[in-house]
Amino acid sequence: MTVQPGKVVLQCRLEKLNDDWQRLITALHSGEQEIHAAWLLLLTPWQALIELISWLQSAENILQEGSSKSFDSLADVTCEQQKYRVSMWLHICSSV
């Protein structure tokens, strides 16, 4: 069985794209943690607690909306996880 050159090139590009994507996700996660830590330093403990309670209420509402969902794959779980992260960032950005 011979391998087509175009297929090899495409596979190499796809692998590079996947590697780049993983580096981006890692960098974003690191930046997310740094921004969150800096944001918490700006708040008093009481304000941080109020923000946490508010975010938990928001997350609870999202969970109730999607409580009937079933996850068929890891991609479904990852997508749902990203929805909660976006929800948290939107909450943080709206309170700054």
Q: Give the tens place of pLDDT for each residue, 1-35.
A: 566 777 788 888 888 888 888 888 888 878 878 88
Complete DSSP assignment for 52-69: HHHHHHHHHHHHHHTTT-
Range of 5-9, 18-22, 82-86, 92-96 with top mean pLDDT: 18-22
Which tops the pLDDT comparison, 79 or 96? 79
Model confidence at 95: pLDDT above 60: no
What pLDDT is recorded for position 23?
Answer: 87
Contact call for residues 63 and 85 (beta carbons, < 8 A): no
Average pLDDT of the chain is 78
Q: Where are the domains of the chain?
A: 1-42, 44-96
Residues 80 and 66 sit within 8 Å (Cβ to Cβ): yes
Distance CA 88, CA 5 (A): 46
- Residue 89 neighbours by CB distance under 10 Å: 13
